[in-house]
């Protein structure tokens, strides 16, 4: 064997050894692959540019640049764009273009409501087949959950089955953090909490939302609105609701809590306020009883347990009036009120 052949042979052995000993970080590789297949935050567009684009569209001009054409979906929900205008915008879209399609999907998820524009977008996206863009593949594989006629029933089954809002449902849907609080997800969660699902299953979702509060803080009002009504009907779970929503939304009767609860329906607020008033009274009597035990006797006004029972019974019979008194007593000006 010549010297050159020996050198070539040694190089071949070295390459084989290098390949055999190379051990990639599989966890890092999995994270990279998952990120590739996740639909994340869309490209940001200057709001002023969108105003100019909407004005141009409304004037009947159709000589759009490539960038303007891609950004047309962002003006679909502009109040000045009617339903026919929305249909025309979708006709101008090239659904084989990943950049066009990603924008349409993003607009659908973030602006979801009960309007005919949303239904138009849903139907247009639901008929698409063969979408092979890496960031959209999972979304269109889950078309029945996101675009289907029974999407919310399917989303309810998905939330109930996977339990994990973060690693489970969203992983299956291929949605990144940006879309975890999108209006479509809010609507899906609202339906989930109103569905005939065992409460122990439903309460696992608020626990997960609470654990990632910084991500989900914007949808706590929607969750509270649905779950409080469900708990009130079921008659169980009140303590859990009080803990979660009091900690995250505050007291709807006072201070900043009044603003945080504005997005919750009047009926749900009324129920929660009643629960708080009842809990205030429970705490009040616990303080009285605890004080009596420490001093060895009850205060004069509550010397007998029978009188205590009568006070509690009177609260039950006159909830509305007592609620007002309780709210006043425990308000920031409660000391003045008590005097």
Q: Which residue, among 180, 134, 132, 178, has the nearest Cα to 159 in the 3D structure?
A: 180
Residue 254: its pLDDT value, please?
86
Each domain of the chain, given as residue ranges in start order, spans 41-134, 282-338
Q: How many CB atoms lie within 10 A of CB 235?
A: 7
And the tokens for 6?
């020996």
Distance, in Å, from the CA atom of 256 to the CA atom of 137, rounded to the nearest integer, reads 43
And the tokens for 57?
């569209």
And the tokens for 223?
């969750």
Backbone angles phi, psi at 5, to 5 degrees: -65, -40
Q: Which residue, among 97, 95, 45, has the nearest Cα to 74 in the 3D structure?
A: 45
What distances in angstroms separate CA 218 from CA 115, 255, 269, 321, one per listed residue? Answer: 22, 19, 17, 34
This prediction has a pTM of: 0.70
Per-residue confidence of the chain (339 residues) as pLDDT tens digits? 565 666 666 677 666 655 555 444 545 434 433 444 478 788 889 999 999 999 999 999 999 999 999 999 999 999 999 999 999 999 999 999 999 999 999 999 999 999 999 999 999 999 998 888 888 888 999 999 999 999 999 999 998 887 666 667 887 888 888 888 899 998 998 888 888 888 888 888 888 888 888 878 888 888 898 899 989 988 888 998 999 999 889 999 888 888 889 989 999 999 999 999 998 888 888 888 877 666 555 555 444 444 444 445 444 444 444 444 444 444 445 444 444
Residue 106: its pLDDT value, please?
95
Cα Rg for the chain, rounded, in angstroms?
29
Distance, in Å, from the CA atom of 329 to the CA atom of 336, rounded to the nearest integer, reads 9
Residue 321: its pLDDT value, please?
45
Q: What residues pair up with 39 in beta bridges, in sequence order?
A: 175
Residue 208: its pLDDT value, please?
82
228 sits in the region (left: phi over 0; alpha: psi -120 to 50; else beta) called: alpha
Q: Which long-range contacts (CB under 8 A, 24 or more apart) does 88-91 make?
A: 89/57, 90/120, 90/121, 90/124
Q: Which long-range contacts (CB under 8 A, 24 or more apart) does 190-196 make?
A: 190/222, 190/223, 190/225, 190/226, 191/152, 191/153, 191/155, 191/156, 192/152, 192/155, 192/156, 192/159, 192/160, 192/226, 193/223, 193/226, 193/227, 193/230, 194/226, 194/229, 194/230, 195/153, 195/156
Q: Give start and end residues of each alpha helix (H) in 174-265.
A: 183-194, 199-202, 204-211, 213-216, 220-234, 238-249, 257-260
Which residues are within 8 A (CB) of 302 and not within 5 positions of it... i.e. 6 or more apart? 288, 292, 308, 311
Q: Which long-range contacts (CB under 8 A, 24 or more apart) does 40-45 make?
A: 40/135, 40/176, 40/177, 40/178, 41/176, 41/177, 41/178, 42/102, 42/103, 42/106, 42/178, 45/71, 45/74
């Amino acid at each position: 064997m010549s010297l050159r052949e020996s050198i070539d042979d040694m190089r071949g052995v070295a390459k084989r050894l290098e390949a055999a000993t190379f051990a990639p970080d599989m966890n890092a590789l999995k994270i990279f692959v998952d990120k590739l297949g996740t639909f994340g935050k869309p490209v940001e567009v200057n709001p002023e540019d969108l105003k100019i684009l909407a004005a141009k569209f409304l004037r009947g001009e159709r000589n759009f640049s490539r960038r303007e054409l891609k950004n047309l979906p962002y003006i679909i929900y502009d109040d000045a764009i009617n339903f026919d205008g929305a249909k025309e915008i979708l006709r101008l879209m090239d659904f084989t273009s990943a950049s066009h399609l990603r924008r349409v999907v993003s607009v659908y998820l973030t602006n979801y409501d009960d309007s005919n524009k949303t239904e138009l977008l849903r139907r247009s996206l639901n008929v698409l087949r063969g979408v092979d863009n890496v960031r959209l593949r999972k979304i269109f594989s889950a078309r029945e959950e996101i675009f289907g006629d029974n999407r919310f029933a399917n989303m309810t089954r998905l939330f109930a089955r996977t339990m994990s809002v973060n690693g489970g449902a969203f992983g299956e849907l291929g949605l990144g953090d940006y879309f975890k609080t999108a209006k479509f997800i809010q609507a899906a969660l609202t339906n989930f909490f109103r569905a005939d699902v065992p409460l122990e299953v439903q309460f696992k979702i608020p626990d997960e939302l609470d654990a990632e509060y910084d991500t989900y803080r914007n949808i706590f009002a929607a969750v509270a609105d649905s779950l409080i009504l469900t708990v009130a009907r079921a008659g169980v779970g009140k303590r859990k609701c009080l803990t979660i929503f009091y900690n995250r939304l505050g007291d709807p009767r006072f201070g900043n809590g009044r603003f945080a609860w504005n997005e919750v329906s009047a009926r749900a607020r009324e129920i929660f306020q009643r629960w708080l008033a009842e809990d205030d009274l429970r705490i009040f009597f616990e303080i009285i009883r605890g004080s009596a035990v420490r001093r060895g006797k009850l205060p004069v006004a509550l010397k007998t347990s029978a009188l205590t029972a009568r006070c509690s019974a009177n609260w039950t019979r006159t909830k509305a009036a007592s609620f007002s008194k309780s709210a006043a007593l425990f308000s920031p000006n409660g000391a003045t009120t008590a005097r």
